[in-house]
A and B are shown apart, each in its own frame.
Chain A
């Protein structure tokens, strides 16, 4: 089962490598990872998606909590939450396909952020499944490049991950 785990960690040199190292060292997967400093620059917020059964996820959260640099850990998938990912995609767009791609972008509420003579760069934001669906929707249009930020997320409502 896919899980979204959010980690608040000290914004220190090497703290990211401890998190990443933990996953490879203990044989856990990381499907995506996004990290940046928070409004409090002494802290970084890291969001990662991983796959595992309840037992594995329990161990992952415990092992993350054990890292000295980790301040707090939450499994966002345990409750209602918002998740977003941003994708930039360069696609071959010429002839009749050009209009077709434009229509798909509109349907997915994306934006064309760069227009070349035979290419578009499309920006799509949403849940990962929406991004996957857009790639699917492009059908035969030749994709030249895809870059995704990895998922980030927050809990809905009053609850928040704070020190």
Chain B
């Protein structure tokens, strides 16, 4: 049997679980592992400029492909820097394994140089974690970590590896386990057939139904099943921020995103619904508004692979625990086999009502903001132009703030995994490394990072890693000279007292900044230039381009829930509310 050192075993095990790209940053405790990486060609290591970005990139790679993302960081500050990235993945249920190096075991607990209790620090942000104590255990631990990360409700797993475990002088036999089995972890693989039957009966009898689908449909690869069921039933579909693309944005049955910045038609339809089919969604506070006033007349069917998501914030009338794809196709099968028919007249009336709402205040039937003109570029128009120029086919990674909401509202995503954003944790700085992760997965695709002049500065150092690893992402800065979302709240709730959302002329020249990193910088200040500049930007296939677009500084994101209130209570503009 082949004898290998712990470092070599770790890298070999990663290739055995089919990792192609490992995002990381070296350091003292990780040196043996990095030496093992140097001596092989199977695994592509991508040197980032900050551990947070390394983890975000691995996370986004997972979001874009459905594979498990992998990152490697050193002990101490490397590990703590990774925490924001791990928490981001945890909140959005993204399959990822983060390997953190650790000080040698004999030093643990001594406050050694670059020592941190990574298992302890990461505990609330991981699905599970392991510390490996012997080189003999590395391969099995890696196999378990990847199994746990990718099955059931996915999530990040941390593997902490003390330096002595990877010692090159201690060689042991390499054996990768053929199968992983954990007696304490058996994710559900099917929904309860009795519950599915009850759900189908309720669903088919609905008069005002809404299908409310979330990130679980994207992560659970259930978009096809969702589409098939929705089309068979002719019911309206709304997606959460995390679920965008799970149902095509340009489909007639799509009523837009729901929630705090959801469309008027989606939120109002939810409020009046008699049956809600929630699938892979978790009734997050950014969706429900006040839970006690949430959808007062609705019976709720809730499908989720994680039982703890069901009845956490809103009670479910028919809970179904199981993977979204399997449960949805079981539901469709039952409907087809029994040739069940929907209540045509009621559904016809329901659609009429929804069309009326769409025409009254819908985002896609008419422009709900003042048109762009001259030097006043509306952020919404930037997203619409991006959609046009990229034919709606780009991967769009976003940061967090107003630009994120505009992108969610106006880039009508037709495919799952196209939209990559930090929905749960809301991590500024996610966008650029996320775009890099997607670009690494799809080198020929158009990848846009939609960001603001605030967010982009939180991981801007990765412009260097884009150069080094030839990741030609396009960075679209919606520059409104302020931390826009915070400013919007200050406008709405704090009498426009702009506490620390303005930069006082300290913003960098993004064009020069791009050039300093060897990239292309473009400044757009006039609406007439917008489309042609963007065409030019995306025509530069092999270049990183920063487009610094000056947008209206006073624009707010609407609709916006009036809180606390029900789903239908919304501001529709600065002066108009429901």
Contacts and interface: CB of A to CB of B under 8 A. Distances in A.
B306 A66 contact: yes
A119 interface: no
Nearest to B120: A17
Interface stretch (B124-132, B443-451, B472-480, B508-516): B124-132
Contact of A71 (B123, B184, B311): B184
B503 interface: no
Nearest to B182: A68
Contacts of B311: 55, 58
A10 B184 CA distance: 8
Contacts of B306: 66
B119 interface: yes
Contacts of A59: 308, 312
A94 B311 CA distance: 58
Contacts of B308: 59, 62-63, 65-66
Interface in B99-150: 119-120, 123-124, 127-129, 131, 148
B183 A71 contact: yes
A18 B128 CA distance: 9
B185 interface: yes
Contacts of A142: none
A14 interface: yes
A18 B123 contact: yes
Contacts of A55: 311
B564 interface: no
Nearest to A163: B183
B247 to A, nearest CB: 28
Contacts of B312: 59
B296 interface: no
B111 to A, nearest CB: 19
A17 B184 CA distance: 17
B307 interface: yes
A21 B307 CA distance: 20
A65 B307 contact: yes
B96 to A, nearest CB: 15
Contacts of B307: 62, 65-66
B119 A68 contact: no
B434 to A, nearest CB: 26
A9 interface: yes
A87 B119 CA distance: 34
Contacts of A17: 120, 123
Most buried by A among B129, B307, B308: B308
Contact of B123 (A9, A21, A58, A70): A21
B182 to A, nearest CB: 7
Majority SS of interface residues in chain B?
mixed
A25 interface: yes
Interface in A1-24: 9-10, 13-14, 17-18, 21
B124 A68 contact: no
A89 B65 CA distance: 62
Interface size class of A (residues with CB under 8 A): 20 to 34
Interface residues of B, number: 18
Contacts of B131: 13-14
Contacts of A69: 128, 184
B123 A68 contact: no
Given A13-B131, A59-B312, A70 B124 contact: no
Nearest to A63: B308
Nearest to A64: B308
Contacts of B184: 9-10, 68-71
Nearest to A24: B124
A25 B182 contact: no
Nearest to B133: A13
A134 to B, nearest CB: 38
A25 B311 CA distance: 19
Interface in A36-59: 55, 58-59
B185 A68 contact: yes
A154 to B, nearest CB: 21
B13 to A, nearest CB: 19
Nearest to A66: B308
Contacts of B123: 17-18, 21
A58 B312 CA distance: 9
Contacts of A163: 183
Contacts of A18: 123
Contacts of A63: 308
Most buried by B among A10, A62, A71, A163: A62
Nearest to A22: B124
A46 B182 CA distance: 20
Interface string B249-266: 000000000000000000
Interface string B305-332: 0111001100000000000000000000
Interface string B170-190: 000000000000111100000
B313 to A, nearest CB: 10
Interface in A65-107: 65-66, 68-71
Given A62-B307, A62-B308, A63-B308, A21 B183 contact: no
B119 A14 contact: yes
Most buried by A among B123, B127, B184, B306: B184
Contacts of B183: 71, 163
A25 B120 contact: no
A10 B185 CA distance: 11
Contacts of B120: 17
B124 A25 contact: yes
Nearest to A18: B123
A11 to B, nearest CB: 11
Nearest to B311: A58
B40 to A, nearest CB: 30
A133 B428 CA distance: 56
A70 B186 CA distance: 11
A141 to B, nearest CB: 43
Interface string A134-156: 00000000000000000000000
Contacts of B119: 14
A161 to B, nearest CB: 13
Nearest to B127: A68
List 5 tightest A-B contacts by C-beta distance, closest first.
A62-B308, A68-B128, A71-B184, A25-B124, A68-B185
23 contacts: A13-B131, A14-B129, A14-B131, A17-B120, A17-B123, A18-B123, A21-B123, A55-B311, A58-B311, A59-B312, A62-B307, A62-B308, A65-B307, A66-B306, A66-B307, A66-B308, A68-B127, A68-B182, A68-B185, A69-B128, A69-B184, A71-B183, A71-B184
Interface of B: 119-120, 123-124, 127-129, 131, 148, 182-185, 306-308, 311-312
